Every structure is written in structure tokens, then in C-alpha cells.
Amino acid sequence: MDPIARVDYGYGAVQKLTPMAKALINQAYGKGPDRSYIGGSSNGGRHAMVAAARFADQYDGVLANSPGFNLPLAAAAQLYSAQQFRRVATDETNLETGFTLPERTMVANAILARCDALDGVVDGLVQDLEACRTTFDLDLHVPTCTGARDGTCLTADQKDAVGKMYRGPVNSDGRALYATQPYDPGLATPGWASWKFTSSVGNARDPVAVGIIFQVPPDPGIASSLANSRNFAFNYNFDTDFPKLLLTDATYTENAMSFMTPPNPTKLNTLRDRGAKMIVVQGASDGVFSIDDTRNWYDELMKENAGKADAFARFFIVPGMNHSSGGPATEQYDALASLVDWVENGKAPDRIVATARGAGNAGGVNLAVPPDWAPDRTRPLCPYPSVARYNGSGDSERAENFSCRR
């Protein structure tokens, strides 16, 4: 509710605290830091992308993981998803009844049947997301129920709801208000489901973000009960309510798209010209921030830099990964080490090796790792638009037998 707190949440904290940190380092050690890095995941990834646009003179390296850099739009898109699943839920207080785990597993298997082999090996991963867009079709490749729902099909209404969720929100004129999302088998996991079915209506996540933090004027009553937040999500109007994200008044002099998002996110000239580097990593099955939104940003960044943005910024997609972690994925990786090597040794990352967190993993087990995978499977994460493709020989559980190619 505090307008200054809103701005601090958006960009003010980084603006104020980075100079303080550097001053403390100088006071303690008699010199400033040799190198300065900023990194984070989710909202922290958004902070990193905002810093790259607003405060690039302060950092030598930027690491943005699962970045919600258009967070107000993404949060509103969650309300749109809730409205779609409400239409097909058998219990509107439990949106997962609109798209159950058996149904999601069936869709995931249909995606794999069409797209798994596109990278040269059947291994439970869809590496070539771009080819999958034209290879998999929800209407054609998922059975339509002719009788009762039993987990082996989707009703026509379910297909409509799921398809619209993946397309993203639109207003009554059909104008897209956020980004599309690609089909990926990571949807059959609790990590994906919690964002789509719980956070989208809960009184601690998306309705509160949209209705209190981002819109003008805020409505504090949304957070007072789960029923209120659910009703806000279900009744959110994309013609009349969505524009409130762009409003200001005498109290709130910056709108959400001003204080939350990177200004001119594809104009990173300061970052580029000072020799700083940037790595962005995101899961293909991120349940809240669209990988397509990040892909579109990177495509525009490449255009802005005459196809040479990869000289200072690279984008890595983690197939199967949910928001920041989890999912049927090799999602244990050290992007920070790659960033430091790029900044300090001039070695641009042409791959980042990632490992599955199967049984016995010292960093914790990811329960979504399929039992037929090697528990320590490795894969290269490839700089977009290249894709990890099997070389045709060697153990398909090992990253060294894959190459990053288009």
C-alpha cells in the first residue's frame, strides 16, 4: 500500500543498496570490489534484468534465472488461467479438478510421442521446442472424450480451456495481453500445478499482486480471505481491470509497468559497451513466467544488436524444468561459474552442463526425475536458439554425447 515500498520492490532496493554495499566493502578492505555481480531467481531474476537496464554501470555480470521481468502481466495472466480452469472444474475451490494429474500426464505423454525424438533420441525430454510447436497439436494429438472423463482424454471444453491458457490472456478485441507458452511435458508435475491451480487464486500470490501491489487504486480487501482473492481472480475483467496496471494518481505516481519492469529492456548499450556479460536461464515448463516472453525479449535483443547480442548476453532454456527448479529435467547447474568465467576469463559459455537430481543427489532429490533416467543424467544447456542434439552414438545419459546445434 505504501507507494515508496512499491518502488523499492520494483527497482529502488537495488538502486539504494548496491552503492551501500560497495561503500561497506571499501571501508572494510580499503578498496572497492574488483568485480560486481547481481543475480537471482524468479522475482530476483526480474531484479537482475531491471538492474541490467537501469544500473548497468554498477555490475560486471548479471545472472537472471527464471526472470519474471514482466511480472504484472504474468500475474494477470495467472488470473486468466484461473478463469479458464474454473469453466471445466468439477469443484471451483479446487481448480485441479479441471485438469487432473492423470489428464496432464496423458497430455505430457502425447507431447513426448510427437516431440521427444526431434532432437535425435527418445529420452523423455523435448529439446527442440520450436519444432514441437508445429509437430504437436492439442486438438489433433490428444483424444477427445466421447463419454465420461477417465484420464485418457480431454473434453472439448477442456481442450478449449487448456488451449486458451497456453495462448495467454486477451481482451474482448482479441488483443494479446501477455505471451504464449510452449507445450512441454513438465506440466505433469506438482511444481507446475501449484502455480496454475493454487497461486492463481490464493490470497498470498497472484490476486494480491495484481489487485494490491500493481493496480491503481489498490484494493486491500483482496488479501483478507481466500474467498475474496478467489472472487477477484474469477471476476477480473481484462477490458476494465487490466488497464489499472497502467494507471497513476496523486499517491501512486509510477504505474506497475514502470516500477516493476526493465525500461527499454532490449537497449542494453551501457551493459554491452562497458564489457559486462549477462546470462539468462529459464525452464521450458515454468508455471508462472512464460518462456516465450523471455524468448521474445532475446529475439528483440538480437535484432537491436544486429544479430550480435550473444557477444554479451546469452539465454539458456532448461527442457522440462518448472519455475526455477523441479520438473522432469536436468535442472542442477552452475550458471554463476559460467558467468564468472565469461566476465573474468573471456570464455563465452557455449554450453552449461546440467545434472538430474535423482536418487542420492547431494543437493537434494527432485522427485519428478523419471525412474527410467540415470539418477545423475547430464545434458548440455545450450545457448538459444541452438538445441542439444544427440550425436548418434555413445551413452545417451551423458552430456558429452550431445552437441548444441540448430
Cα gap 152→103, rounded to integer Å:
7
Cα gap 138→156, rounded to integer Å:
11
C-alpha cell at 100: 487432473
Cα gap 158→144, rounded to integer Å:
9
For the chain, the first-to-last Cα distance in angstroms comes to: 48
What is the DSSP annotation of 166-193? HH--B-TT--B-S------GGGSSHHHH
- What number of CA atoms fall less than 13 Å from residue 341's CA on the CB side? 11
The catalytic position among 286, 292, 293, 310 is 286
C-alpha cell at 169: 490472456
Q: Residue 154 carries which DSSP code?
A: B
| Contact indicator for 64, 280 with CB cutoff of 8 Å | yes
Cα gap 398→219, rounded to integer Å:
52
Place of cell 535425435: 120
Residue type, 65: N
- What number of CA atoms fall less than 13 Å from residue 277's CA on the CB side? 21
Burial of 58 (0-12, 13-18, 19+ CB in 10 A): middle
C-alpha cell at 208: 494480491
How far is CA 271 from its chain centroid? Answer: 23
42 belongs to the catalytic site: yes
Spell 365-398 as b/e; 16+ CB within 10 A means b: ebebbeeebebbbbbbbbbbebbbbbeeeeebee
- Collapsing DSSP to helix, strand or coil, 124 comes out as coil
Cα gap 82→226, rounded to integer Å:
14
Instruction: Report residue 173: phi and psi, to 5°.
Output: -85, 0
The catalytic position among 293, 323, 324, 325 is 323
123 belongs to the catalytic site: no
CA dihedral for 46, 49, 51, 54, sign (positive or negative): negative
Residue positions annotated with a catalytic role: 42, 286, 323
